[in-house]
Chain A
Amino acid sequence: MIADALAGRRIGITGATGFVGTALVERLLRCVPECDLALLVRPGRRTSAAERVRREILRNNCFDRLRSELGSSFDAEMERRIAVMAGDVTRDGLGLDRAGLDLLAGCDVVIHSAATVSFDSPLDAAVDVNLLGPSRVAKAISDARASHPDLTEALPAGEAPREPAHLVSISTAYVSATRKGRVDEELLSEAAIPVGVDWREEVAAARRARSDIDAKSREPEMIARLTRAARSQIGAAGTHLLAERAEKLRQDWVSDRMVRAGISRAHMLGWPDSYAYTKALGEVALLETRDRVPITILRPSIIESSLHEPCPGWIRGFRMGDPVIVSYAKGLLKEFPGTPEGIVDIIPVDLVVAAAITIAAAGPPENGATAFHIASGDRNPLRYDKLVELIRTWFTERPLYDDDGQPILAPSWTFPGRGRVQRQLGRTTKALTIAEKSISALPLRTKNPDMFARLERNKAQAERALGYVELYGAYTETEARFSTRRLIELQGTLAEEDRAVFSFDPATIDWNHYVNVVHLPSVVQHSRVRTSPIPRERTTRLERMRRSVLAPGRRLAIFDLENTLIASNVVDTYAWLASRWLRSDERLRLVASLLKDAPRLLLTDMRDRGDFLRAFYRRYEGEATLQVQEDCAEMFSDLLLQRVFPEGIRRVRQHRAAGHKTLLVTGSLDLIVEPLRVLFDEVACAKLGTREDGTLSGHLDAPPPTGELRATLIREYAEAEGLSLENAVAYADSTSDLPMLEVVGNPVIVNPEARLAVIAQRRGWPVERWSRSPGMNRWRLPLAPPARQGERARAQDRYGRSRSWGTR
Chain B
Amino acid sequence: MSPRPGFVFETDRSSPATLFWHGEGFRLEKLPTGARIVYPPEPVEALTDPVAQIRGALENPVGDSPPLSALLRAGMRLTIAFDDVSLPLPPMRSPDVRQLVIESVLDLAAEASVDDVVLIAALALHRRMTASELRHALGDRIYDAFAPNGLLVQHDAEDQANLVHLGLTTEGEDVEINKRAATSDLLVYVNINLVAMDGGHKSVATGLASYRSLRHHHNVRTMQHSRSFMDQEHSELHSSNWRMGRLIAASGVKVFQIETTLNTNTFPDQFRFLERREWEWSLKDRASFLATSFALERAPAGVARKVLQRTCSPYGLSSVQAGEVEAVHAVTTENVYRQQLVEVEGQTDILTMGLPYICPYNVGSIMNPILVACTGLGYMFNMYLGKPLVRPGGVLIMSHPTPWAFDPVYHPSYIDFFEQVLSETTDPFEIEANFEESFARDPWYIHLYRTGHAYHGVHPFYMWYWCAHALDHLGAVVIVGGDRSAVRRLGFKAASSLGDALEMAEDVVGRHPSITHLHSPPLLVARVS
**Which of B3-11, B255-263, B441-449 binds A?**
B441-449
Contact of B403 among A633, A649, A774 (CB under 8 A): A774
With the chains together, A384 CA to B366 CA distance in Å?
Answer: 66
With the chains together, A641 CA to B415 CA distance in Å?
Answer: 13
With the chains together, A646 CA to B406 CA distance in Å?
Answer: 10
CB interface residues, B 273-303, toward A, < 8 Å:
301-302
Contact of A777 among B302, B403, B419 (CB under 8 A): B302
The reply to whether B447 and A775 contact each other, CB–CB distance below 8 Å, is no
| With known contacts A653-B444, A678-B443, A775-B366, A646–B453 Cβ distance under 8 A | no
Instruction: Mark interface residues in A633-662 (1 if CB within 8 Å of B CB, else 0).
Output: 100111001101011011001000000000
Task: Note all chain B residues with C-beta closer than 8 A to A794.
Answer: 148
Nearest chain B CB to A768 CB, angstrom units = 14
Contact of A678 among B148, B412, B420, B447 (CB under 8 A): B447
Task: Note all chain B residues with C-beta closer than 8 A to A777.
Answer: 302
The reply to whether B444 and A649 contact each other, CB–CB distance below 8 Å, is yes
Task: Note all chain A residues with C-beta closer than 8 A to B249.
Answer: none
Q: Is A790 an interface residue (CB 8 A)?
A: yes
Instruction: Mark interface residues in B361-388 (1 if CB within 8 Å of A CB, else 0).
Output: 0000010100000000000000000000
With the chains together, A776 CA to B408 CA distance in Å?
Answer: 8
CB interface residues, A 673-710, toward B, < 8 Å:
675, 678-679
**Chain A residue with minimal CB distance to B452?**
A637
Q: Is A773 an interface residue (CB 8 A)?
A: yes
With the chains together, A646 CA to B448 CA distance in Å?
Answer: 13
With the chains together, A706 CA to B527 CA distance in Å?
Answer: 67
CB interface residues, A 586-640, toward B, < 8 Å:
633, 636-638
**Chain B residue with minimal CB distance to A636?**
B452
Instruction: Mark interface residues in A516-529 (1 if CB within 8 Å of B CB, else 0).
Output: 00000000000000
CB interface residues, A 406-436, toward B, < 8 Å:
none
| With known contacts A637-B452, A790-B144, A794-B148, A644–B408 Cβ distance under 8 A | yes
Contact of B408 among A633, A642, A675, A790 (CB under 8 A): A642
Task: Note all chain A residues with C-beta closer than 8 A to B404.
Answer: 774-775
CB interface residues, A 754-780, toward B, < 8 Å:
772-777
CB interface residues, B 395-419, toward A, < 8 Å:
403-409, 412, 415-416, 419
| Size of A's binding interface in residues, CB under 8 A | 23
Nearest chain B CB to A307 CB, angstrom units = 52
The reply to whether A773 and B148 contact each other, CB–CB distance below 8 Å, is no
Nearest chain A CB to B452 CB, angstrom units = 5
The reply to whether B444 and A679 contact each other, CB–CB distance below 8 Å, is yes
**Chain B residue with minimal CB distance to A641?**
B409
The reply to whether A653 and B301 contact each other, CB–CB distance below 8 Å, is no
Task: Note all chain A residues with C-beta closer than 8 A to B69.
Answer: none
**Chain B residue with minimal CB distance to A647?**
B419
Q: Is B113 an interface residue (CB 8 A)?
A: no
**Chain A residue with minimal CB distance to B302?**
A777
With the chains together, A777 CA to B403 CA distance in Å?
Answer: 14
The reply to whether A675 and B451 contact each other, CB–CB distance below 8 Å, is yes
CB interface residues, B 75-133, toward A, < 8 Å:
none
With the chains together, A644 CA to B408 CA distance in Å?
Answer: 7
The reply to whether A642 and B416 contact each other, CB–CB distance below 8 Å, is no
The reply to whether B406 and A775 contact each other, CB–CB distance below 8 Å, is yes
**Chain A residue with minimal CB distance to B483?**
A774
The reply to whether B415 and A773 contact each other, CB–CB distance below 8 Å, is yes
With the chains together, A617 CA to B46 CA distance in Å?
Answer: 58
| With known contacts A650-B416, A650-B419, A775-B403, A641–B444 Cβ distance under 8 A | no
Task: Note all chain B residues with C-beta closer than 8 A to A772.
Answer: 408
Nearest chain B CB to A645 CB, angstrom units = 9
With the chains together, A646 CA to B409 CA distance in Å?
Answer: 10
The reply to whether B452 and A773 contact each other, CB–CB distance below 8 Å, is no
With the chains together, A794 CA to B405 CA distance in Å?
Answer: 38
Task: Note all chain A residues with C-beta closer than 8 A to B412.
Answer: 641, 646, 649
Task: Note all chain B residues with C-beta closer than 8 A to A647.
Answer: 419
With the chains together, A638 CA to B452 CA distance in Å?
Answer: 9
Nearest chain A CB to B133 CB, angstrom units = 13
The reply to whether B407 and A776 contact each other, CB–CB distance below 8 Å, is yes
Task: Note all chain A residues with C-beta closer than 8 A to B406.
Answer: 646, 773-775
**Chain A residue with minimal CB distance to B486?**
A774
Task: Note all chain A residues with C-beta closer than 8 A to B407.
Answer: 773, 775-776
With the chains together, A644 CA to B453 CA distance in Å?
Answer: 15
Nearest chain B CB to A761 CB, angstrom units = 27
Instruction: Mark interface residues in A766-808 (1 if CB within 8 Å of B CB, else 0).
Output: 0000001111110000000000001000100000000000000
Task: Note all chain B residues with C-beta closer than 8 A to A646.
Answer: 406, 408, 412, 415-416, 419
Task: Note all chain B residues with C-beta closer than 8 A to A638.
Answer: 409
**Chain B residue with minimal CB distance to A679?**
B444
The reply to whether A637 and B443 contact each other, CB–CB distance below 8 Å, is no
The reply to whether B408 and A773 contact each other, CB–CB distance below 8 Å, is yes
The reply to whether B444 and A678 contact each other, CB–CB distance below 8 Å, is yes
With the chains together, A675 CA to B416 CA distance in Å?
Answer: 20
Task: Note all chain A residues with C-beta closer than 8 A to B416.
Answer: 646, 650
The reply to whether B366 and A653 contact each other, CB–CB distance below 8 Å, is no
**Chain B residue with minimal CB distance to A644?**
B408
Instruction: Mark interface residues in B291-318 (1 if CB within 8 Å of A CB, else 0).
Output: 0000000000110000000000000000
14 CB < 8 A contacts A-B = A633-B451, A636-B451, A641-B452, A642-B408, A644-B408, A646-B415, A678-B443, A774-B404, A775-B302, A775-B366, A775-B403, A775-B404, A775-B407, A776-B408
Ordered nearest first, which 4 A-B pairs have the shortest CB separation?
A775-B405, A773-B408, A777-B302, A646-B415
